[in-house]
Amino acid sequence: MKVFDLDMIKAAYARMPERVEAAKKLLGRPMTLAEKILYSHLWDNLGGKPFERGTDYVDFAPDRVAMQDATAQMALLQFMQAQREKVAVPSTVHCDHLIQAKVGATEDLKIANESNKEVYDFLSSVSNKYGLGFWKPGAGIIHQVVLENYAFPGGMMIGTDSHTPNAGGLGMIAIGVGGADACDVMAGLPWELKMPKLIGVKLTGSLKGWASAKDVILEVAGRLTVKGGTGAIVEYFGTGADKLSATGKGTICNMGAEIGATTSVFGFDKKIAKYLTATGRRNVAIAAGRIKEYLRPDQECIDNPEAYYDQVIEINLSKLEPRINGPFTPDLAWPLSKFAAAVKKNNWPAKLDVGLIGSCTNSSYEDMTRAASIANQAAEKHIKAKAEYTITPGSELVRFTAERDGLLATFDKIGGVVLANACGPCIGQWARHGAEKGERNSIITSFNRNFAKRADGNPNTHAFVASPEIVTAFAIAGDLTFNPAKDTLTNEKGEQVRLDPPLGIELPPLGFDVLDAGYQKPARSGKNVKVKVSPKSDRLQLLAPFTKWEGTDLKGLKLLIKAKGKCTTDHISMAGPWLKFRGHLDNISNNLLIGAVNFANEATNKVKNQLTGEYGEVPAVQRAYKAAGIGSIVVGDENYGEGSSREHAAMEPRHLGVRAILVKSFARIHETNLKKQGMLALTFANPADYDKIKEDDTLDIVGLTTFAPGKSLKVVANHIDGSKDEIVVNHTYNDAQIGWFKAGAALNIIAEQAGK
Ligand code: SF4
């Protein structure tokens, strides 16, 4: 089954050499791979000077968009408002996040299809109408499906999920974004990114014994920590890189998200060509081979990396020991030989309850075979797994092939339960029996994240992250103080037996196979396709355009809340149980700012309703202002809106009638999201003026009739005692963004243009 767009890839390759050469001339030096891909995807022609890494904001033209089912809902609802006939770039939707793991694949999938029917019907119909590829529930996890079908060396993709960088394993710059960005690119607009810094990781040697590609990124996470990659692309190169399988490279890039990296990438090599060929894309491998010097860093960058990367680290794969990272954070890296001591010293529960392998991070054929080689030894040596053991295949292609080749039967021998090809336990979609008791316990996964409560909602679950083969060995031992590289286990006959190091097969010798991959091709013409949204739905709601600016200054705004301290997108629009309302703006708005701390009473979700003098929940008070036709304003502290690119955090206040967000400083993505939704995003010229805002204030925003780039506005805080403070406020709107404000939202302008 061919689902990728070969013509698009060929066109990208036709452009690339000329663009890279032009950029090289401008830079006057050799180029890293990341730079080659970025400069060949500029929206505009090259300017007169190179972009400064870590400083300049640049418009890019991505080749593809991928969305998972939780984030696709709002992205597509917004896209519909743009009134385009088709998406401007090839795009796909993947149903993976909404499937709960409870019993096993078949039953869980059946329940998900029933409970999420309206969401799936909506995503399927909107994909069909606007030309998006739709991957049904059970088809697989977004990143694995992208790797198997769409990722290509030298390409650029955005995806509405943090682990989109997985595609870097095939040499693609793939970046996780919010739904608003996906909407823009699908509507044919440029996509803005701060030119990333570059971290070079030089790999030498080759992996031995129990060590795997997963251990490379577990080691990198340990060295760089969860914030070490922020604002940077991590580029892997060196002789060691060329020895890693393409899927192993994918695992490494996937978990680059755990160090906060913008993305991670490997250069095109024989391993990537082999994987492309094995997954039905031989012609992509051939096309890439023709321009291979543009799909790898220049040799000077490899020989003298310090001169070309902002930071360089080196790892000798031959000396790399397996790592176990955790608990509660993916950057707490323990070498296998020191892990047992750490478990004892920190008094972590040594008894292992569950080992979970698979997920988008680690469910390649190679991963499955390495884990199965351990499971097989256990069965042959008469050892039963002491812990529960689950397998989450990343896609139906991998699952079907693994079943055909007897790998799933091998897992069955040690009591393994195969879950649906979906996110499941990785994102808290795990109906784990007994989790509600909140008992201290340990689990180990081959997933990527292990923050408290992520897998099963229990804050006392100590989650560790390792490779699938290490997870399998621990599940067999049922004990975290076991070291599979040196310890023995007692089998059913009372004998001491040892597990030999895993043996894996990179690609299936009989080729990949699948009966039904779960793909729905879009209609050739979507004109007559009806998008299915029930007006009675509590999970989906078609969007109405936000209203235009009234053309005057904004007077008489009530202070909704002055948020104190950290106010992330999670404080503004909480996740967890609210996930199911991601496609229903009015319903999800009931979580508006419920996590923010009110400066006046230090409480969360308790603000004064100035109309009644009574305290109420933030969304309820805001709805009261809206019902009375009164606008409001939210005041915040430093770095307001940090965290994620969740557009709901900007859409909800807009929907409920908040007119402006005034803060000491913004997280940039959130600031842009607010601008896109037609909201005023303002900052105190003097941050100390934050203290002048009082709980009972009514505020005016003055100067909007002459709103212009670089020109400050004024906020008048009218206090309840009759006194007032005049506060100078700044903004970063350019002309186009002022246009968004005046039109009511950026999408209103796109829709207007589409209607002309
Ligand atoms: Fe995200 Fe986990 Fe799903 Fe991967 S498996 S896409 S990390 S939730």
pLDDT digits (tens, 9 = 90+) for 165-200: 999 999 999 999 989 999 999 999 999 999 999 999
Ligand 1 centroid–CA 113 distance in Å is 19
Is the domain of 482 the same as that of 571? no
| 160 in contact with ligand 1, CB cutoff 6 A | no
Is the domain of 564 the same as that of 469? no
| 454 in contact with ligand 1, CB cutoff 6 A | no
| % of the chain at pLDDT higher than 70 | 100
**For residue 669, what pLDDT is reported?**
84
Run of H or E including 108: helix 105-115
User: Residue 118 falls within a domain, yes or no?
Assistant: no
Nearest to 395 by CA among 143, 132, 67: 143
Backbone angles phi, psi at 126, to 5 degrees: -70, -35
Nearest to 366 by CA among 506, 508, 243, 216: 506
Is the domain of 602 the same as that of 706? yes
Ligand 1 atom closest to the CA of 68, numbered from 1: 6
**For residue 101, what pLDDT is reported?**
93
Is the domain of 568 the same as that of 706? yes
Ligand 1 centroid–CA 7 distance in Å is 30
In the block, residue with structure tokens 């204030």 = 697
Residue 500 is a catalytic residue:
no
Domain boundary among 459, 488, 517: 488
Q: What is the mean pLDDT of the chain?
A: 96
CA 594 to mean position of chain CA atoms: 23
Distance (Å, whole) CA 341 – CA 277: 45
Asked if 619 contacts 591 with a C-beta cutoff of 8 angstroms, the reply is: yes
Backbone angles phi, psi at 63, to 5 degrees: -85, -30
| 255 in contact with ligand 1, CB cutoff 6 A | no
- pLDDT of 468 above 90: yes
Ligand 1 atom closest to the CA of 427, numbered from 1: 8
Distance (Å, whole) CA 148 – CA 142: 10
**For residue 87, what pLDDT is reported?**
97
Q: Mean pLDDT check: name the lowest of 370-379, 550-559, 567-576, 607-616.
A: 567-576
CA distances from 452 to 96, 458, 459 (A): 22, 7, 5
User: Residue 82 falls within a domain, yes or no?
Assistant: no
User: Residue 450 falls within a domain, yes or no?
Assistant: yes
pLDDT tens digits for range 99-122 = 999 999 999 999 999 999 999 999
CATH number of the domain within which 683 lies? 3.20.19.10
Domain boundary among 468, 488, 508: 488
**For residue 575, what pLDDT is reported?**
80
Residue 5 is a catalytic residue:
no
Distance (Å, whole) CA 173 – CA 566: 31
Ligand 1 atom closest to the CA of 394, numbered from 1: 5
pLDDT tens digits for range 703-723 = 999 999 999 999 999 999 999
What is the amino acid identity at position 279? T
Burial class of residue 490, CB neighbours in 10 A (0-12, 13-18, 19+): exposed
Is the domain of 478 the same as that of 569? no
Run of H or E including 398: helix 396-404
Domain boundary among 455, 488, 521: 488
Pairing of strands 91-94, 64-68: parallel
| 161 in contact with ligand 1, CB cutoff 6 A | yes
Residue 449 is a catalytic residue:
yes
Is the domain of 474 the same as that of 570? no
Ligand 1 centroid–CA 423 distance in Å is 5
CATH number of the domain within which 450 lies? 3.30.499.10
| 567 in contact with ligand 1, CB cutoff 6 A | no
pLDDT tens digits for range 35-62 = 999 999 999 988 889 999 999 989 999 9
pLDDT tens digits for range 138-161 = 999 999 999 999 999 999 999 999
Nearest to 183 by CA among 593, 536, 648, 589: 648
Span 427-440, average pLDDT: 90
Is the domain of 479 the same as that of 562? no
Is the domain of 469 the same as that of 567? no
Ligand 1 centroid–CA 560 distance in Å is 36
Residue 646 is a catalytic residue:
yes
Is the domain of 568 the same as that of 484? no
The active-site residue out of 108, 644, 670, 697 is 644
**For residue 47, what pLDDT is reported?**
84
Asked if 419 contacts 392 with a C-beta cutoff of 8 angstroms, the reply is: yes
| 465 in contact with ligand 1, CB cutoff 6 A | no
Ligand 1 atom closest to the CA of 359, numbered from 1: 5
Ligand 1 centroid–CA 71 distance in Å is 12
Distance (Å, whole) CA 46 – CA 696: 52
Asked if 460 contacts 353 with a C-beta cutoff of 8 angstroms, the reply is: no
Asked if 653 contacts 659 with a C-beta cutoff of 8 angstroms, the reply is: no
Is omega for the bond preceding 327 within 30 degrees of 0, making it cis? yes
**For residue 4, what pLDDT is reported?**
87
User: Residue 373 falls within a domain, yes or no?
Assistant: yes
CA distances from 24 to 16, 287, 298, 520 (A): 12, 22, 11, 42
**For residue 668, what pLDDT is reported?**
84
Instruction: Provide the domain limits for residue 575.
Output: 554-755
Reported residue count of the chain is: 756
CA 79 to mean position of chain CA atoms: 20
Ligand 1 centroid–CA 94 distance in Å is 12
3-state SS, 5-66, equals CHHHHHHHHHHHHHHHHHHHHHHCCCCCHHHHHHHCCECCCCCCCCCCCCCCEEEECCCEEE
Atom 4, ligand 1: residue with shortest CA distance: 360
Ligand 1 centroid–CA 359 distance in Å is 6
Run of H or E including 263: strand 263-266
3-state SS, 167-205, equals HHHHCCEEEECCHHHHHHHHCCCCEEEECCEEEEEEEEC
User: Residue 714 falls within a domain, yes or no?
Assistant: yes
| 101 in contact with ligand 1, CB cutoff 6 A | no
Is the domain of 598 the same as that of 739? yes
Backbone angles phi, psi at 35, to 5 degrees: -65, -40
Residue 121 is a catalytic residue:
no
The active-site residue out of 69, 96, 242, 456 is 96
In this prediction, residue 576 has a pLDDT band, given cuts at 50, 70 and 90, of confident
Q: Report, in this order, helix, strand and coil percent for the chain, each rounded to 5.
A: 35, 20, 40
Residue 644 is a catalytic residue:
yes
Q: Which of 100, 145, 161, 421 most suits a substitution to test ligand 1, by most atoms within 8 Å of the C-beta?
A: 161
Backbone angles phi, psi at 67, to 5 degrees: -135, 140
User: Residue 676 falls within a domain, yes or no?
Assistant: yes
| 661 in contact with ligand 1, CB cutoff 6 A | no
Is the domain of 590 the same as that of 453? no
| 701 in contact with ligand 1, CB cutoff 6 A | no
Distance (Å, whole) CA 285 – CA 39: 22
User: Residue 78 falls within a domain, yes or no?
Assistant: no
| 427 in contact with ligand 1, CB cutoff 6 A | yes
| 426 in contact with ligand 1, CB cutoff 6 A | yes
Residues 6+ apart with CB under 8 A from 494: none
| 99 in contact with ligand 1, CB cutoff 6 A | no
Distance (Å, whole) CA 142 – CA 67: 7
**For residue 38, what pLDDT is reported?**
98
Distance (Å, whole) CA 78 – CA 541: 11
- pLDDT of 220 above 80: yes
- Output the pTM of the full model: 0.93
Q: Which of 68, 144, 145, 359 most suits a substitution to test ligand 1, by most atoms within 8 Å of the C-beta?
A: 359
User: Residue 344 falls within a domain, yes or no?
Assistant: yes
Domains contained in the chain, number: 2
Distance (Å, whole) CA 24 – CA 18: 10
pLDDT tens digits for range 241-281 = 999 999 999 999 999 999 989 999 999 999 999 999 999 99
| 421 in contact with ligand 1, CB cutoff 6 A | no
The active-site residue out of 64, 97, 399, 659 is 97
For residues 713, 194, 6, 123, the Cα torsion angle rounded to the nearest 10 degrees is -50
More confident residue, 619 or 451: 619
